Structure 1
Amino acid sequence: MSTPLLLFVESNTTGTGRQFAQRARALGAEPVLLSADPGRYPYAAQDELRTVIVDTADDDALWTAVQHLAATARIAGVLSSSEYYVATAAALAARLALPGPCADAVRACRDKSVQRRTLAEAGVPVPWFSVAGEVAEAVAAAQWRAAPVVVKPVQGSGSLGVRLCRDAGEVAAHARTLLDATVNERGLSTPAQILVEQYLTGPEFSVEVFGEHAVVSVAKHVGAPPVFVEMGHDVPAVLPAPEAAALVDSAVHAVKALGLGWGAAHVELRLDGGVARVIEVNPRLAGGMIPELVRRALGVDLVGAQVRAGLGLPVDLTDTSGAAGAASIRFLTATADAVLSDTDAAEAAALAVPGVVDAALYRPPGTRVAPAEDFRGRLGHVIAVAADPAQSAEAADTARALGLATALEHTPIRQAMPA
């Protein structure tokens, strides 16, 4: 009997994409990557992953490719580790009568305007918001509620296009930029709508949900406005019991209200006084290497659980073997224009900090870098583990500072002046 296939519709470019394929192989399935451009994912060639080149934005072409695969082997599941293709994967799984979330629910969830309305109608605490299809509508919404406000696309990932706007001029400029864009960074068409929403200043968290079960709450470190770059995470979040309960209650309520409840969901929230307001629900595993932190801190393999669910296998979230107790990640970002210098020495300096178990720079020496505007501006990461979150956070902070001090030459980058 041939090896069953687990199909992956595209992948995320960093983080767990490689791990999805590794877990599939460990479970006896052959991972197959369906992609318009497999070269976007270096791990695919490095790990000799079977790939099928197909226009993943064309449903008919994708279905034809899947039928060709089904003619030679049993397809056991369809997943995606990419925010942009989770709905496509869910629809394919349903068409093949395979396990997966409700495709309509995933599709609706990915549109933040639809998601917000659904949550508000269900009584889930959310920021106030307004949907705008024109610049004038965005400005009017900001003026009605009084800026500052957050302006962002109704679809997206990795904080792309999310910006704090402090007055009508900033709202108009950013709204125009977003509304003028017809495709996203993946080349997929984007809706001609944006969100104008309340700027919450309370601490930010995520709750990692699997099915309808809250696995863990995560403390998030977000960079300075006007952008919202995620700079690090601590697992688990340490909170007073009432606030911890409020986060879980809002997150699980949101997942149920949206009709999800299959597999992983990444729910982002901010505490507003004692209220846990849902910023957004992502119908997928968390990014930012949060699943790796959960594995190291709690012993719970969320990537493995998602792969098992996709293959129709039982999922056990109670195995805590090898748990350290806490884990933290910090991303390395430039604070000014600079040049990467000795990346090997930077990694070595970070790894020398007690408790640090992983350190990586993503770009080669000589690369010019600038302050991050979104996740694409991250230069690397460090991960630390310890018995409690305060210890892991301290180790990660120390390693981040050492890595940056070693890796960056903060020489101003100026264009040559004309003679």
Structure 2
Amino acid sequence: MTPPTLVLVESNTTGTGRLFARRARELGALPVLLAEDPDRYAYAREDDIPVVRTDTGSLNAVLAAVRAVPGAVPAGLTTSSDYFVPVAAAAAHALSLPGPDPQAVRRVRHKGSQRADLVAGGVPVAAHALVSGPEEALSAVDRIGLPVVLKPTDGSGSMGVRLCTTRQEAAEHAARLQARTHNERGMPVARDFLVEQYVAGPEFSVEVFGQRAVAVVAKHLGAAPHFVETGHDVPAPVPAAQADALTATAVQAVKALGLGFGAAHVELRLGPDGPVLIEVNARLAGGMIPELIRAATGVDLVRAQVTAALGRPVDLEPRSSHHSSLRFLVVDAPSELGVLPDTGGLPHVTGTTLTGRLGVRLVPHHDYRDRVAHVTATAPTAEDATRAAETALARLRTALRPHPDEETTV
């Protein structure tokens, strides 16, 4: 009997991208990856995953590719990449496969439309304005008040997001955003962007599946004016009342946006007056958050997402109550990466993963691309897990050294 096929429309190049294919095989399905550039996915070659070269930005091309896979019986179609959630949802709908509402996903993907739906649903969001150039941005700054955050409407992984504390900074960054034509994958970008009031306070994510909150995650961020995520703690070490407020706001946001199938990654700040919604992503979290949740609670969100895409019942029941932490090794100056030191002898450390390339010139991009390795730890207490991850990170930092002939200004 021919196994059912799970079609993946692109994916994350590391981490959960590989895990999606592995979980599909564990569930008896054949993963098939559609990719515009198959060379982007080393894991597909290493794991012998069939790859079909496809214009993944085109719904018609995706549908044609699915129908042309020899002997395939498509049982599901999904993606782990933020950029391809809309086309994957539309393709699943066209093929009568399980998936989210394509129209809702399309509106969520554009942060301006998303904000409008959140406001209409009564979800607390920061004061904001959708603008298309420096002059409009400065008018918005004058209305909202400094400091503000400027961000693309269709970005991902902190790309193009910047805190501006003066009108000049806002004007300069607005000009940079207006000049962008394509993202790091070569896809055309929206020309409008958001100006948002800066919300002071700690940042969290709530991982929602369907309309059920699964975990509250504490985030660690790099230095301003950028918003590079440098680590995560699961569950977030906050009082129960704060966790409840965060989860209630996240679920309210998911409902207001018309979501309810599969995973949603909901980002919030805990401001002086309570939770404020930063943004919702209609996909599974990146940054290895699903693996932290699995280590801490036993809930496998990657498996759940694949299971839902295949139209099967999902298991979200926790089986343990540990604490897990992750810390990223981040490039913050021109440098190169040497061999990672061994962290295996440290208590509670569960793994060290290299994601960057050894011996090549590295310069900061001020987004997710600056993360070149990470370490994870799981322990009975939050204190032990965070201490272990930070101790291991200190050891990993010795692998970064100045590039010998680096004179580039960033």
**Structure 1 length as normaliser, TM-score?**
0.94
**d(CA) in 2 for partners of 1:279 and 1:357?**
31
Tell me, yes or no, if the aligned pair for 2:59 and 2:90 is still in contact at 8 Å. no
Q: Which amino acid aligns with 1:138?
A: A
Counterpart residue identity of residue 113, structure 1: G
What is the one-letter code of the residue matched to 2:222?
Answer: G
**1:404 alignment partner, one of 397, 401, 407:** 397
Change (3 A) 1:394 1:107: same
Aligned residue number for residue 379 of structure 2: 386
For 2:197 and 2:345, the matched residues in 1 are separated by 42
Q: How does 1:82-93 map to 2 (within 5 A)?
A: 82-93=81-92
Aligned to 1:94: 93
Q: Indicate the residue corresponding to 1:27 in structure 2.
A: 27
Give the whole-Å Cα distance in 1 for the aligned partners of 2:403 and 2:84.
40
| Unaligned ranges ≥5, structure 1 | none
* Offset of residue 415 of structure 1: 4.1
**Partner in structure 1 of residue 286 of structure 2:** 287
* Cα deviation 1:326-376 (Å, max 9, x = unaligned): 1100000134333323x14x2x0x232111111123334423334451110
Q: Which residue pairs with 1:362 in the alignment?
A: 355
Cα distance change of structure 1 residues 133 and 68 upon mapping to structure 2, 3 Å threshold = same
Percent pairwise identity: 51
Amino acid paired to 1:204 = E
Equivalent residue, structure 2, for 1:11 = 11
Tell me the residue number matched to 1:332: 329
Kindly indicate whether the alpha-carbon contact (under 8 Å) linking 2:334 and 2:402 is maintained by their aligned counterparts in 1.
yes
Q: Which amino acid aligns with 2:268?
A: L
Distance in 1, Cα, partners of 2:78 & 2:261: 12
SS in 1 for 2:123: coil
Q: Report the number of matched residues.
A: 408
Q: Report the Cα offset of residue 121 of structure 1.
A: 1.5
Q: Which residue of 1 aligns with 2:55?
A: 55
Q: Which runs of 5+ in 2 are unaligned?
A: none
Distance 1:357 1:270 in 2: 29
Question: In 2, Cα distance between the equivalents of 1:340 and 1:212?
Answer: 41
C-alpha displacement of 1:122: 1.1
Matches within 5 A, 1:94-173: 94-173=93-172
Greater mean deviation of Cα atoms: 272-281 or 106-115? 272-281
SS in 1 for 2:32: strand
Partner residue of 1:216? Answer: 215
**What's the CA shift string for 1:45-71, capped at 9, x where partnerless?**
0001011111111222222112223x7
C-alpha contact (below 8 Å) 1:149/1:198 kept by paired residues: yes
Q: Which region of structure 1 is more displaced relative to structure 2, 188-197 or 177-186?
A: 177-186
- For normalisation by structure 2, the TM-score amounts to 0.96
Tell me what 2:233 maps to. 234
C-alpha contact (below 8 Å) 1:150/1:162 kept by paired residues:
yes
When structure 1 is superposed on structure 2, of 407-416 and 385-394 the one drifting more is 407-416
CA distance in structure 2 between the partners assigned to 1:414 and 1:72 by the alignment:
52
Cα deviations across residues 4-51 of structure 1 (Å, max 9, x unaligned)?
A: 111000011222011000010111110000111111011000001011
Are the aligned partners of 1:7 and 1:77 in contact in 2 as well (CA < 8 Å)?
yes
Instruction: Describe the SS at the equivalent of 2:293.
Output: helix
Deviation at 1:414, TM superposition (A): 4.8
Structure 1 position 133, deviation (Å): 1.1
Q: Alignment partner of 1:312: what SS?
A: coil
1:158-197 aligned within 5 A: 158-197=157-196
Residue aligning to 1:373: 366
Pair 74,353 (structure 1): closer, same or farther in 2 beyond 3 Å:
same
> Residue by residue, what CA displacement relative to the aligned partner does 1:295-346 show, whole Å, maximum 9, x if unpaired?
00100000000000000010011151xx4601100000134333323x14x2
How many angstroms does 1:215 deviate by?
0.3
CA RMSD in angstroms, aligned pairs only: 1.6
Cα deviations by residue, 1:215-269 (Å, 9 ceiling, x for unpaired) = 0100000111111000000000021222111101110000000000110000000
Write the distance in 2 (CA, Å) between the matches of 1:100 and 1:271. Answer: 31
Q: Distance in 1 between matches of 2:34 and 2:362?
A: 32
1:194 positional shift: 0.3
- Compared CA separation, residues 74 and 415, structure 1 to 2 (3 A): closer
CA deviation digits over 1:367-393, x for unaligned, max 9? 333445111011200000101222101
The 2-side partners of 1:280 and 1:338 are apart by 32
Contact 1:4 1:75 in 2 (8 A): yes
- Contact 2:161 2:226 survives alignment (8 Å): yes
